[in-house]
């Protein structure tokens, strides 16, 4: 049974917890701003890289891209999934929805599967679904840690492709919605094939003047392709981080509301119990007075 002292302790504990939640909420909001700013800046750079590749196709009059595969049939193909998750808790269904999305998407693709995971928690969820990861990377804790991670993944993926150990690479990550929340998305990362070229050429050249290549054609293309691959991975990582902090912010908002409701209930209980004890004391005083009066 609750006592006044017990209710006071519960109220103080709830207030302390609410202050911690408020601090985490403020931190998540601050992180979202820097990641959203990075996503916005990266979109302009990504668009510039895409225009450069389109300009190369036009200047060199490249009609199509022939795709060569080391695998002789679909069963021999090796699909590598690069999955961006979270290392920390208090993110709602962030990792669960990503693990379900990866599992369902990979089941629809033929061939063997190789998993590279960024984040321990989503790795555990994927292993529960029977998907064992061959590489595990830590989640970047700030925007400056994204570049080393992306560089490492890019180096390993190109090495695997050159050795024909992996047929194709896919990126899985959560992407922020325009209004609120996030949605899991999948994009083909490598190889760069005809379908990629057709998608890229939907980018409209901004003027009527025909583009020209300054310098040698091959080094220009290599630089543009490297920029495109780096930007694609960087963009996926930053969008995942923005989605993670958005999910944490929503979780903290729900927790803050629940704690506020709990504090209201504890205060009501405290005042009811205190009033009841006061009534009992008054009743004892009145009863004692009446007994003395009769004597």
* CATH H superfamily, domain 28-249: ATP synthase, F1 complex, gamma subunit (3.40.1380.10)
Average pLDDT, the chain: 84
> Which strand (E) or helix (H) includes residue 102?
helix 94-107
Structural Rg of the chain based on CA atoms: 29
Strand order in the sheet with 133-137: 133-137, 112-118, 78-84, 168-176, 182-190
- State the average pLDDT over residues 8-21: 84
- State the average pLDDT over residues 232-260: 87
Which of 207, 206, 172 has the alpha carbon at shortest distance from 83? Answer: 172
Report pLDDT digits (tens) over 212-227. 777 777 788 888 889 9
Phi, psi of 270 (to 5 degrees): -60, -45
- State the average pLDDT over residues 62-68: 61
For residue 66, pLDDT beyond 70: no
Q: How far is C-alpha 58 from the geometric centre of its chain's CA atoms? A: 36
Q: How confident is the model at residue 31 (pLDDT cuts 50, 70, 90)?
A: confident
For residue 71, pLDDT beyond 50: no
For residue 53, pLDDT beyond 90: no
pLDDT for 106 equals 92
For residue 67, pLDDT beyond 70: no
- Region of 210 (left: φ > 0; alpha: ψ -120 to 50; beta: rest) is beta
Which of 109, 114, 151 has the alpha carbon at shortest distance from 131? Answer: 114
For residue 1, pLDDT beyond 90: no
Packing angle between helix 217-294 and helix 4-60, nearest 10 degrees?
A: 170
**Burial profile 50-81: b = 16 or more Cβ within 10 angstroms, e = fewer:** bbbbbbbbeeeeeeeeeeeeeeeeeeebbbbb
pLDDT for 274 equals 83
- State the average pLDDT over residues 173-182: 86
For residue 172, pLDDT beyond 90: yes
- State the average pLDDT over residues 144-171: 91
- State the average pLDDT over residues 150-178: 91
For residue 198, pLDDT beyond 70: yes
**Whole-angstrom Cα distance, residue 41 to residue 84?**
21
Identify which has the larger pLDDT, 96 or 70: 96
Report pLDDT digits (tens) over 102-156. 999 999 888 899 999 999 999 999 998 889 999 999 999 888 899 999 999 999 9
Provide the whole-model pTM.
Answer: 0.77
pLDDT for 70 equals 45
User: Which stretch, 31-40, 132-141, 244-253, has highest mean pLDDT?
Assistant: 132-141
Q: What residue ranges do the domains of the chain occupy?
A: 28-249
């Amino acid at each position: 049974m609750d006592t006044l002292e017990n209710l006071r302790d519960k109220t103080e504990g709830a207030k302390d917890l609410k202050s911690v939640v408020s601090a985490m909420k403020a931190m998540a909001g601050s992180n979202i701003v820097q990641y959203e700013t990075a996503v916005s800046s990266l979109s302009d750079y990504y668009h510039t890289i895409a225009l450069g590749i389109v300009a190369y196709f036009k200047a060199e009059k490249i009609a199509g891209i022939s795709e060569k595969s080391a695998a002789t049939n679909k069963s021999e193909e090796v699909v590598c999934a690069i999955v961006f998750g979270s290392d920390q808790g208090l993110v709602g269904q962030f990792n669960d929805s990503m693990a379900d999305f990866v599992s369902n998407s990979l089941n629809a693709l033929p061939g063997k599967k190789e998993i590279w995971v960024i984040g321990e928690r989503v790795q555990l969820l994927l292993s529960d679904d029977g998907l064992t990861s061959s590489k595990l990377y830590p989640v970047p804790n700030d925007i400056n840690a994204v570049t080393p991670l992306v560089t490492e993944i890019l180096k390993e993926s190109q090495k695997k492709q050159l050795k024909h150990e992996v047929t194709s690479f896919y990126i899985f990550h959560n992407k922020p919605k325009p209004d609120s929340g996030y949605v899991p998305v999948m994009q083909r990362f490598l190889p760069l094939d005809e379908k990629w070229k057709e998608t890229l050429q939907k980018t409209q050249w901004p003027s009527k003047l025909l583009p020209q290549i300054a310098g040698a054609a091959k080094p220009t293309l290599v630089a543009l392709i490297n920029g495109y691959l780096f930007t694609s991975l960087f963009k996926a990582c930053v969008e995942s981080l923005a989605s993670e902090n958005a999910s944490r912010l929503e979780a903290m908002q729900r927790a803050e509301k629940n704690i506020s409701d709990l504090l209201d209930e504890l205060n009501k209980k405290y005042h009811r119990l205190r009033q009841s004890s006061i009534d009992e004391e008054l009743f004892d005083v009145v009863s004692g007075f009446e007994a003395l009066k009769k004597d």
